[in-house]
Every structure is written in structure tokens, then in C-alpha cells.
């Protein structure tokens, strides 16, 4: 038996590929990977893969059509026993073909809100969801915008890690840590506007290759620090040296309201309070770890500092243990369902 995995981006930008490859390694199932070279880079991957050039000269709509057309040609030639289709974009473009050629022989993995507000996209997504063997989502709230169907929740975290006990720095200088590649800079700028004249805080950026133009004026302040890019091995040390994690991504659209960021799991594992946007599932799940940033209030830094100093380490630890167990339990259930689906396809 051989499983075909169809990704929607380069390997380095599709880390959930390895959730499936690790699982199939465990149960002794062979697999091959098909993905587009969207970033025009060379990925390091030892297994069998088929790399399809991404057509940047056309609109993304047509580029996806071109990619999935070529992917189907490879699949038809290889005659895979089962497909794992990563992201709804791939599933939507292949929906009727999947129904016809791989009915109940593919697993659909959904990690984000995409274009469910577009009726034709939603209709095709419904076809893909209803004819799959299994549908996997990374947040239970995705059911709010997805077609009705059976779903299992597989969070964007793996492994049972020991939780660090929260160590709060009451009445001290607090470091807010931005760990990312340059998104949500408008919210960062609003925080910088306040932090640059407030010695109670340090705002440290990790992951920016260069300082964005919108933030260049803050380079002169010693409590706003741009640390450049970092290796994956450095991430844990960065988080441990941070007091509050940045996760102010905004709200008001399904993409932001229902998703769960990796920062949620980092907050629980490392015992770190986290900045969130109000009325989001991130804020709800983070519970006492979450401080909702209200940029309409001039006193949001005062409010943050006072909130932090009232936190209780024991309360945070108990909450983290409860929620992390829930996350792991959901992940185990999803893993068992996926394992059974793959083994079922052997028969």
C-alpha cells in the first residue's frame, strides 16, 4: 500500500505533513509526497516526492488549477491506495474528481478558514467533505463555518511535553515577545507607540529578517529590540526569556475568530501569559492566561501591567494542566481515527 500526500505549499511551510508521515512510519505504510514549489526554493526531504512548479505569472485561482491538474496526473499514474489532501484549497479544486476517483479513500485536513463566504467554493467544499473517508480540523470552532459533516480535532501540537510551572515577575520590567515572520504589524505598532515611553516594558521581536519600514522609527529605543531571525532550536530559549507572548491577530472574521494559534500551546507548555484579541476562540481557550488588548483605551499598558501583577501562578498551572490534557486527549482520539482510516484502506 502507498499513500499519496498532496500539500499546498513547500515542505517548510507545511509542517503538518510530518504528523502524517510520522504516523505512517509507525504503522509501516509507504507514502509519497506531491507539493508545489510556491516559494521557488529547495526543500530538504529524504523521501519520495514530486515537486510541481508554481505558476506565478497567473492569478492564484489559475495557479491552483494548474497545480491540482498536474497532481491528478501523478496520482492517476501512481494509483495510490489512499490520499491525504492537505488544505481545503486542494480539496475544492479536486472535489468532483475526488468523489469520482477516490470516494471514501481520502483524508481531508483543514487548518484554516479559507473562502467559505464564496458560494461556489463552499459548494465544492461540501462535496469534498461529504465524500472523504475522514475530515480533520485543527479547531473545533471550524465547524461554525464548514459544511455539516463528521470531523475530528487534531491540534497544531504534538507530543506530551512536561509543562513548565509559571514563574511570574511581579512588579518588574516585563518583556513582550513577538515571535513571527512579519504579520500583524499594525497591532505591533500600536504597542510600540506606548512601550517606547514606558520603562515597565520591553517589546522584543524575533523572526524578522529585516526591520519593517512601519517599525523603523522605533529602532532608536532601547526597550524595543529587533533580534532578527532564529533557528528552530532557539525557539524554546526565546519563549523562556519572554514574560508575555504576543498573539494580537485581530478579530471580526472567521479566519481570526475561530483559529487556534501555536502560541496557545506555547503559553500552556511554558507557563506564559499571552496577549489576545477579544471575542476570539484563542482568548476563550487561553482563559486566565489571556489579556485581551483594547487599543481603543489609552490605558491599555497600565491595564496590562496591573492584570499581570494580579495573576496567580498556581491558578495558571492548574488551568494549563486541565486544558493541555484536553488538547492531548483530542489529539489522541484524532490520531486513532486517522490510524484506523489508513489501516481500513489496506483491506
Cα separation values, 44 from 29, 84, 132, 156, 278, Å: 21, 21, 30, 22, 39
Beta strands in the chain (DSSP E): 2-6, 30-37, 49-53, 82-86, 106-110, 134-137, 152-153, 174-179, 201-206, 224-226, 244-246, 274-276, 290-292
Cα separation values, 97 from 5, 69, 93, 109, 247, Å: 16, 10, 9, 17, 39
Report the percent of the chain where pLDDT is more than 90: 90
**CATH of region 174-324:** 3.40.50.2000
Domains in the chain: boundaries: 2-156, 174-324
pLDDT digits (tens, 9 = 90+) for 142-178: 999 999 999 999 998 867 789 999 999 999 999 999 9
Confidence of residue 12 (pLDDT cuts 50, 70, 90): confident
- The CATH architecture of the domain made up of 2-156 is 3-Layer(aba) Sandwich (3.40)
- Cα 68 to Cα 85: distance, rounded to the nearest angstrom: 11
CB 284 within 8 A of CB 247: no
In 10 A of CB 220, how many CB atoms? 8
- Cα 240 to Cα 236: distance, rounded to the nearest angstrom: 6
Give the pLDDT score at 160.
79
| DSSP type of residue 136 | E
Q: Same fold for the domain at 2-156 and the one at 174-324? A: yes
3 state SS of 114: coil
- For all residues of the chain together, what is the average pLDDT? 95
3 state SS of 214: helix
Amino acid at each position: 500500500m502507498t499513500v499519496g500526500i498532496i500539500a499546498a505549499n513547500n515542505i517548510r511551510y507545511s509542517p503538518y505533513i510530518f504528523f502524517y508521515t510520522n504516523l505512517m512510519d509507525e504503522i509501516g505504510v509507504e507514502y509519497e509526497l506531491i507539493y508545489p514549489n510556491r516559494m521557488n526554493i529547495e526543500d530538504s526531504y529524504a523521501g519520495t516526492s514530486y515537486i510541481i512548479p508554481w505558476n506565478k505569472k497567473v492569478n492564484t485561482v489559475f495557479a491552483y488549477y494548474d497545480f491540482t491538474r498536474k497532481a491528478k496526473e501523478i496520482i492517476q499514474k501512481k494509483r495510490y491506495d489512499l490520499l491525504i489532501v492537505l488544505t481545503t484549497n486542494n480539496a475544492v479544486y479536486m472535489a468532483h474528481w475526488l468523489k469520482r476517483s477516490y470516494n471514501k479513500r481520502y483524508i481531508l485536513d483543514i487548518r484554516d478558514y479559507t473562502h467559505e463566504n464564496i458560494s461556489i467554493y463552499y459548494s465544492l467544499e461540501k462535496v469534498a467533505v461529504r465524500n472523504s473517508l475522514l475530515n480533520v480540523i485543527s479547531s473545533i470552532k471550524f465547524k461554525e463555518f464548514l459544511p455539516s459533516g463528521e470531523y475530528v480535532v487534531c491540534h497544531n501540537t504534538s507530543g506530551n511535553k512536561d509543562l513548565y510551572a509559571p514563574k511570574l515577575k511581579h512588579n518588574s520590567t516585563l518583556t513582550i515577545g513577538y515571535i513571527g515572520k512579519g504579520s500583524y504589524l499594525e497591532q505591533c505598532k500600536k504597542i510600540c507607540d506606548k512601550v517606547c515611553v514606558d520603562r515597565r516594558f520591553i517589546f522584543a521581536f524575533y523572526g524578522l529578517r529585516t526591520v519593517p519600514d512601519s517599525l523603523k522609527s522605533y529602532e532608536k529605543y532601547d526597550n524595543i529590540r529587533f533580534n532578527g531571525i532564529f533557528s528552530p532550536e532557539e525557539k524554546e530559549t526565546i519563549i523562556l526569556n519572554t514574560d508575555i507572548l504576543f498573539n494580537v491577530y485581530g478579530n471580526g472574521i472567521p479566519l481570526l475568530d475561530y483559529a487556534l494559534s501555536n502560541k496557545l500551546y506555547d503559553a500552556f507548555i511554558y507557563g506564559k501569559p499571552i496577549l489576545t484579541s477579544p471575542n476570539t476562540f484563542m482568548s476563550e481557550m487561553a482563559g486566565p492566561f489571556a489579556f485581551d488588548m483594547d487599543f481603543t483605551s489609552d490605558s491599555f499598558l497600565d491595564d496590562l501591567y496591573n492584570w499581570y501583577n494580579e495573576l496567580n501562578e498556581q491558578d495558571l498551572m492548574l488551568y494549563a494542566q486541565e486544558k493541555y490534557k484536553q488538547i492531548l486527549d483530542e489529539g489522541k482520539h484524532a490520531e486513532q481515527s486517522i490510524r484506523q482510516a489508513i489501516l481500513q484502506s489496506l483491506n
